[in-house]
Structure 1
Amino acid sequence: MNSTEHHPDDPNGAAAHLSHDGSTVPAPRLARSVLLATMAGYSLVTAVNILDAGSSPLENGIGFLALLVIFGLQLVHSRPQARQSSYGCRVTTLALQAACCFLPLALFHLAWGAMCGFLAGSVLLLLPARTAWPLYVAIGLSLYGYSAFVVDRSLFDSVYTLETTLVTGLVVFGLSTLTRLVARLHAQRSDLARLAVAEERLRFSRDLHDLLGYNLSAITLKTELVRRLVPDMPAPARAETDSILALSRQSLADVRKVATGYRDMSLREEVAATRSMLEAAGIEVVATVGTGPLPPQIDTVLATVLREGVTNALRHSHVHRCAIRCAEEGGVVTLSIDNDGVEPVGRNPFGAAGPVPRQAADEPGGTGLGNLTHRLGRLGGSLTTELGDDGWFRMTARAPLGARPDTFDLNRMENAQK
């Protein structure tokens, strides 16, 4: 995890965050402030040009009103969620901005040119690349044509107008995109921190349950055996033995309670966090969870399968698309994790070295798939992996809803000792 450095006078996170290589990454508030200051600077230059043009008070009022409208629309277009609006809404606001950009040219001529740069930047921000870049160039050429043929400026002035329009558009596009990326990075840092904490809690609960729980179970069993092997022990010794037995049983119950509380996870929360993480990495994600509330044991194991599967896929392959689906049918919950990131050399994208098998073995062993297979097996479930004919790698976990977890049984251990 990357460490962060917070300035004591900046409780809202406006200070820079320190990354693992020592470089600084601006927080969202700082990035938005830079973008806002840049757009305000361009608008102020245009306002000064309007006042310097010697127009009438009415014309100046129209110019300032159009300037405010453009500034407001640019704020809307530069926000991180702008691309999530419907296509029709984006086209409508772009058309309104275009009207406010081009119509005042008749009053203020090239003194208004910087606002067309805002329009060029908005086109790049809101439209698909195959449409945006031709329109971006067309806006610059339109200002060049207006300067050269309408107001009859020199070739040097016309080229300068073209260049300033395109550069202004790139500045708006670049700063808006940077602000969007910084906001996503900031949100992703929170997700990664939460996932790291959850992973550590899971590791701690597993060690607590498997190591300390086993030792306490053995102490309980040995104490029971002492009572049976020495039936005629003195009363004080029997009382002490009973005290030790009661204490070990209570300690074992407490350890299991604490371990269970630490390792409880939610599949739905894990799906949401995973989707956010993958989308921030530029991976196309389809995620559906078609089940009701799941038993805690199944919910935790499936959430762990999802985390391990996606982590290994990102670590060992080049994923561009990922599909996560969970459904319940016939009393069995099925979680499938598919991705298109199988490497050409045939490396298993979920962590196993060597050629990718058509059906991977479901044997426990190793720290990744084997551990997950073992945990699902204790619930009566299974874990399979396969490379489909379509080139997608599929990982499928199944767990029956009615199954009881195969927990540690003191009677079974006692019988084994006998």
Structure 2
Amino acid sequence: MPTRNIVPFSPRSQAPAPRLARAIIVTALLCYGTMTVLNVVRTRPETFELVVCVGLVLMVFGVQLAVSSPQARSWPTGRKALVLGLQAVLTFAPLVWFGTNWGSMEGPLAASLLLTLPARYAWPSYGALIAFIPVYNLLAGATIDLVLYFTIAGILTGLVIYGLTRLTDLVHEVHATREELARMAVTQERLRFARDLHDLLGYSLSAITLKGELIHRLIVTRPDKAREETASVLRVARQALADVRLVSSGYRDMSLSEEAASAGTVLAAADIRADVTVECGRLHPVVDTVLATALREGVTNILRHSRVRICSIKAELDDTTVRLGMTNDHPHEPSHLFTAGPGGGSGLDNLRTRFAAIGGGLTAGLQGDGRFHLEVWAPIRPQNDIEALALGPTPPERSAVA
């Protein structure tokens, strides 16, 4: 299966998108402002009039630029009203001086109405302002062609500025969402790493501890047997190192049958009589891995949390479901089971998460005869893409702990 390469999202690499959207807004406002100045210039005004016109245009579009910023949508009502009032003064007062040459400067104000007012007021206000344009120009003596030009220009200016501003807002929202998704992906990867360390290494470390204690007892009385167990500890330690590498690289492929054979060896070393029956044949790799993880977690907690002497492990396969059951003769409270060390997570919760992700389940508790029973089940074919959600891709092969 091909390796999945996760490329972290870099906000810096995506920063040009919001800046580009903002640059488009600024360019559009400069073009509309230049058109207004040109309308005044064609009447050949005095230098002072031209300077005043340019100053007013810059003020109008400066206010419009502030209204078009993403932060303006969160302004308090009072601030919105103040800015709209200022823009209205800058829009209508020059009409007294420049008359029809002020052109379609009502357009930016129309856009501001759409951007700042609630929808039930914004569009009626926009319509009333657009209706004012032909009425004023007719009363001011403009020709029909100029009336149509100013009206259409006002409609178009308002809608274009409004549309570009909303698109810019959406770009910022998408950009922020991608940053949040990136943070969530990092968090999920950290949780996966912690879960896999608990599930994979807990078993190996428990086996090393158990065999180390056995070697300590045998080294004086049975040195040959101690040497054999030392070789076994080395194999477990090598597998633990391999597990760490698998976790760090995202690979976690395990075999239920291999884990069952390993569990029988480890339990026997702990003087636990284990009846292991696992005859499920070839399983889906994802299902095989999740079931093997459950078996490893169950054996780890038998070694860590109880004084078990007899243990039964059985896996069964029917038409649609694979079931794995573990029963031992020493009762212990479920609240003390499947727990990690300080700062770690819960093994039982980890297992529930894994099985729920593929459409399976888990039960754990004391039976009527006082024995503790853990049962997990999974569909033959996983219902979800657990490789992407929890387990990640799988390597070509992986050996169990010997």
TM-score by length of 2: 0.54
Aligned to 2:115: 125
**Are 1:224 and 2:221 an aligned pair?**
no
The answer to whether the 8 Å contact 1:80/1:179 transfers is yes
**Are 1:161 and 2:150 an aligned pair?**
yes
Aligned to 2:65: 75
The answer to whether the 8 Å contact 1:140/1:162 transfers is yes
Counterpart Cα distance in 2 of 1:77 and 1:363:
47
The answer to whether the 8 Å contact 2:60/2:91 transfers is yes
| Higher RCO structure, 1 or 2 (CA under 8 Å, sep 6+) | 2
Counterpart Cα distance in 2 of 1:373 and 1:168:
65
In structure 2, what residue type is equivalent to 1:220? T
Q: For 1:122, what is the secondary structure of its paired residue?
A: helix
Aligned to 1:214: 203
In structure 2, what residue type is equivalent to 1:50? V
Q: How does 1:26-65 map to 2 (within 5 A)?
A: 27-65=17-55
Structure 1 runs, 4 residues or longer, greater than 4 Å off = 1-6, 11-15, 235-245, 362-365, 368-374
Q: Which string of whole-angstrom CA distances, capped at 9 and with x for unpartnered residues, describes residues 201-248 of structure 1? A: 211221121122222212321332354467512399579949959x96
Counterpart Cα distance in 2 of 1:56 and 1:184:
46
RMSD: 4.2
* Structure 1 pair 100–373 and aligned structure 2 pair: CA distance change class (3 A): farther
* Structure 1 pair 98–372 and aligned structure 2 pair: CA distance change class (3 A): farther
Counterpart Cα distance in 2 of 1:122 and 1:363:
50
The answer to whether the 8 Å contact 1:77/1:122 transfers is yes
Counterpart Cα distance in 2 of 1:373 and 1:68:
71
* Structure 1 pair 368–128 and aligned structure 2 pair: CA distance change class (3 A): farther
Q: Which string of whole-angstrom CA distances, capped at 9 and with x for unpartnered residues, describes residues 65-89 of structure 1? A: 2111112101110100101111111
The answer to whether the 8 Å contact 1:120/1:169 transfers is yes
Aligned to 2:82: 92
* Structure 1 pair 371–148 and aligned structure 2 pair: CA distance change class (3 A): farther
Aligned to 2:129: 139
* Structure 1 pair 95–205 and aligned structure 2 pair: CA distance change class (3 A): same
Give how far 1:115 is off. 2.0
Aligned to 2:298: none
Q: For 2:44, what is the secondary structure of its paired residue?
A: coil
Farther off after superposition, 130-139 or 44-53: 44-53
Aligned to 2:324: none
In structure 2, what residue type is equivalent to 1:98? A
Q: For 2:73, what is the secondary structure of its paired residue?
A: helix
Aligned to 1:196: 185
**Structure 1: tracts of 5 or more residues without a match:** 16-26, 260-295, 306-361, 375-418
Give how far 1:131 is off. 1.1
Q: Which string of whole-angstrom CA distances, capped at 9 and with x for unpartnered residues, describes residues 245-294 of structure 1? A: 9x96xx79x97xx99xxxxxxxxxxxxxxxxxxxxxxxxxxxxxxxxxxx
Q: For 1:192, what is the secondary structure of its paired residue?
A: helix
Aligned to 1:152: 141
Counterpart Cα distance in 1 of 2:88 and 2:69:
19
* Structure 1 pair 227–30 and aligned structure 2 pair: CA distance change class (3 A): same
Larger C-alpha radius of gyration, 1 or 2? 2
* Structure 1 pair 115–368 and aligned structure 2 pair: CA distance change class (3 A): farther
Counterpart Cα distance in 2 of 1:47 and 1:99:
18
Q: How does 1:6-405 map to 2 (within 5 A)?
A: 13=14, 27-149=17-139, 151-228=140-217, 232-234=221-223, 237=226, 241=230, 297=343, 366-367=356-357
Counterpart Cα distance in 2 of 1:3 and 1:363:
25
Q: For 1:114, what is the secondary structure of its paired residue?
A: coil
Aligned to 2:337: none
The answer to whether the 8 Å contact 1:227/1:241 transfers is no
In structure 1, what residue type is equivalent to 2:38? V
The answer to whether the 8 Å contact 2:106/2:129 transfers is yes
**Structure 2: tracts of 5 or more residues without a match:** 249-341, 365-402
In structure 1, what residue type is equivalent to 2:191? L
Aligned to 2:310: none
In structure 2, what residue type is equivalent to 1:90? K
The answer to whether the 8 Å contact 1:363/1:373 transfers is no
The answer to whether the 8 Å contact 2:104/2:151 transfers is no
Q: For 2:70, what is the secondary structure of its paired residue?
A: coil
Counterpart Cα distance in 1 of 2:205 and 2:27:
64
Counterpart Cα distance in 2 of 1:5 and 1:243:
44
* Structure 1 pair 366–118 and aligned structure 2 pair: CA distance change class (3 A): same
Counterpart Cα distance in 2 of 1:126 and 1:109:
27
Relative to total residues, which structure has the larger helix share, 1 or 2? 2
Counterpart Cα distance in 1 of 2:36 and 2:8:
40
In structure 2, what residue type is equivalent to 1:81? Q
The answer to whether the 8 Å contact 1:13/1:29 transfers is no
* Structure 1 pair 297–136 and aligned structure 2 pair: CA distance change class (3 A): farther
The answer to whether the 8 Å contact 1:113/1:143 transfers is no
The answer to whether the 8 Å contact 1:121/1:172 transfers is yes
* Structure 1 pair 30–368 and aligned structure 2 pair: CA distance change class (3 A): same
TM-score by length of 1: 0.52
- Number of equivalenced pairs: 258
Counterpart Cα distance in 1 of 2:172 and 2:58:
26
Counterpart Cα distance in 2 of 1:48 and 1:79:
26
Q: For 1:55, what is the secondary structure of its paired residue?
A: coil
The answer to whether the 8 Å contact 2:100/2:137 transfers is yes
The answer to whether the 8 Å contact 2:218/2:226 transfers is no
Counterpart Cα distance in 1 of 2:218 and 2:180:
55
